[in-house]
């Protein structure tokens, strides 16, 4: 049996166990496909090819041994499955650049917790994916190493900042990938690339080993081509971690099992504010059609209000840059990363940061430093934190009425590369529906729900804190009734 690049992780796992496919065949096919297509797409910054091939051969033997022993399928849940990871997750001895010149060539001395959990689950990590520098962007154009392109249309962006991970899944390189989400950086590229992306509740997944952007907002989550695979990967990475003080010690349910047990009568709330001016007509039409599908499936759909939805965007662009200003102060050319040498310390730090940071990172550092400066701290940063509380309270009121809030993932279709690089306000608008979810610390799931002008449209489901299960149940029910997630990007 020849490996298909479009098989789910679950199907690959079953084929390995049955002996109809070998992990080494699948890994070889993935690497061959990347070598053929990625020069145009540029989803990867680094491939760990040799190690991936070696691990795959080892899994060949372990699967064969399990079949000989007739002991059933007792191997770990991702044994031999190829996975891609965003290049802001620390991988021991493997370059981790965050898409920035200032960390070009840096080799972390440890694995992030999610990387360690992937390895324990048997995943074969193919390589590190491209991103907006330090995860600051909505298009993956801010990478110091060049943009990633959208597999559906190479002239368009894949979204960001986790554009490389989303593109790698959409292009058929890997069935699973990890990204990070500070203001929409998993969900928005998932929507633009026609795949599934989940931002878990803040604290559900350890951030240890994630290079920090905005520590009160950052969260790691999965990409997949369907909801069940997304749940499978969440099963592996979720759970408390003593090395992350923000990691929540709450039970981790069987997310994958929940997708096979869809619930009826789930109440869906649709904010009227999410379909106002600025939302592309094709996006609104696809999401409303998806709501009709939910209604036909027995879900209860009703209108709700999120009055602070518009206020979330400026709130985020005070809080996130302020935290970035603090977090990125460590990149000074002294301890690790790039150094632009000089006998004068001040000049060395200045030159290192001038050369090492890109324009968007510098812009956000300056915004954040200004918001935290004397005379402006209370007027900007403290006020933003108060509005953040109002955003969270709006969601609390909504969840007193409904179980899930439904919005477009992004107000527009994927835009052309270069279209918004000189207009940061238009770029920031891409995340208007995802940012409130990070401010409130809630889980958000993006699903493909249609196409407009030949480009994917994403629908976002937002749930109560630590209730990813309900999102996955609803998403699974929707995908059982539709086929948008089964459509594949064209071969370039």
Number of neighbours of residue 157 by Cβ within 10 angstroms: 31
Active site residue 247: no
Catalytic residue among 86, 128, 162, 247: 86
* DSSP letter, residue 222: E
Q: How many CA atoms lie within 13 A of 130 on its CB side?
A: 29
Q: Which of 8, 139, 143, 161 is labelled catalytic?
A: 161
Quickly tell me which residue has 């998403």 as its tokens.
Answer: 475
In the numeric block, the tokens 């969440």 are attached to 234
SS3 call for 205: strand
DSSP 429-464: HTTTTTHHHHHHT--EEEEEEEEETTEEEEEEEEES
Active site residue 483: no
Element spanning 409, H or E: none
Nearest to 127 by CA among 101, 96, 98, 149: 96
The answer to whether residues 222 and 237 touch, using CB atoms and an 8 Å cutoff, is: yes
Phi, psi angles (nearest 5°) of residue 125? -80, 110
Determine which one of 185, 206, 247, 446 is catalytic: 185
Please, are residues 231 and 259 in contact by the beta-carbon 8 Å criterion? yes
DSSP, res 150: B
Q: Tell me how far apart the alpha carbons of residues 131 and 139 are, in angstroms, rounded to a whole number.
A: 8
Is residue 326 part of the annotated active site? The answer reads no
Element (H, E) at 120: helix 113-120
Write out the catalytic residue numbers: 86, 161, 185
């Amino acid at each position: 049996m020849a490996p298909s690049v479009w098989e789910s992780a679950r199907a690959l796992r079953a084929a390995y166990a049955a002996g109809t496919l070998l992990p080494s065949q699948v890994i070889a096919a993935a690497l061959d496909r990347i070598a053929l297509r990625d020069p145009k797409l540029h989803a990867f910054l680094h491939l760990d090819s040799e190690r991936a091939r070696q691990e795959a051969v080892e899994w060949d033997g372990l699967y064969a041994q399990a079949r000989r022993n007739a002991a059933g399928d007792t191997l770990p849940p991702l044994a031999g499955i190829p996975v891609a990871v965003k290049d802001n997750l620390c991988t021991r001895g493997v370059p981790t650049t965050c898409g920035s010149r200032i960390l070009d060539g840096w080799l972390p001395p440890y694995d992030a917790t999610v990387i360690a959990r992937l390895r324990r689950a048997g995943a074969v990590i193919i390589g590190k994916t491209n991103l907006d520098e330090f995860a600051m962007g909505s298009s993956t154009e801010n990478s110091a190493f060049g943009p990633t392109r959208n597999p559906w249309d190479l002239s368009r962006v894949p979204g960001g900042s986790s554009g490389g991970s989303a593109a790698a899944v959409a292009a058929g390189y890997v069935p699973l990938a990890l990204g990070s989400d500070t203001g929409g950086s998993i969900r928005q590229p998932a929507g633009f690339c026609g795949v599934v992306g989940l931002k878990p509740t803040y604290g559900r997944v350890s951030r240890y080993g994630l290079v920090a952007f905005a520590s009160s907002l950052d969260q790691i989550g999965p990409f997949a081509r369907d909801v069940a695979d997304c749940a499978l990967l969440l099963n592996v990475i979720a759970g408390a971690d003593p090395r992350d003080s923000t990691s929540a010690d709450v039970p981790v349910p069987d997310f994958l099992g929940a997708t096979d047990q869809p619930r009826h009568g789930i109440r869906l709330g649709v904010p009227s504010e999410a379909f106002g001016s600025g939302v592309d007509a094709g996006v609104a039409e696809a999401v409303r059609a998806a709501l009709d599908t939910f209604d036909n499936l027995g879900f209860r759909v009703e209108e709700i209000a999120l009055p602070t939805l518009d206020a979330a965007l400026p709130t985020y662009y005070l809080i996130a840059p302020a935290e970035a200003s603090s977090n990125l102060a460590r990149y000074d050319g002294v301890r690790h990363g790039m150094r632009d040498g000089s006998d004068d310390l001040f000049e060395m730090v200045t030159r290192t940061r001038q050369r090492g940071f890109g324009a968007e990172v510098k812009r956000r550092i300056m915004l954040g430093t200004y918001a935290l400066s004397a005379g402006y701290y209370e007027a900007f940063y403290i006020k933003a934190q108060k509005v953040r509380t109002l955003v969270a309270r709006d969601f609390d009121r909504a969840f007193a009425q409904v179980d899930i809030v439904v919005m477009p993932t992004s107000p527009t279709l994927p835009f052309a590369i270069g279209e918004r690089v000189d207009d940061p306000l238009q770029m920031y608008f891409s995340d208007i529906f995802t940012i409130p979810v990070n401010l409130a610390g809630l889980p958000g799931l993006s699903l493909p729900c249609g196409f407009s002008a030949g480009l994917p449209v994403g629908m976002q489901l937002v749930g109560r804190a630590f209730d990813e299960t309900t999102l996955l149940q609803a998403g699974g029910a929707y995908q059982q009734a539709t086929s948008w997630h089964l459509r594949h990007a064209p071969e370039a």
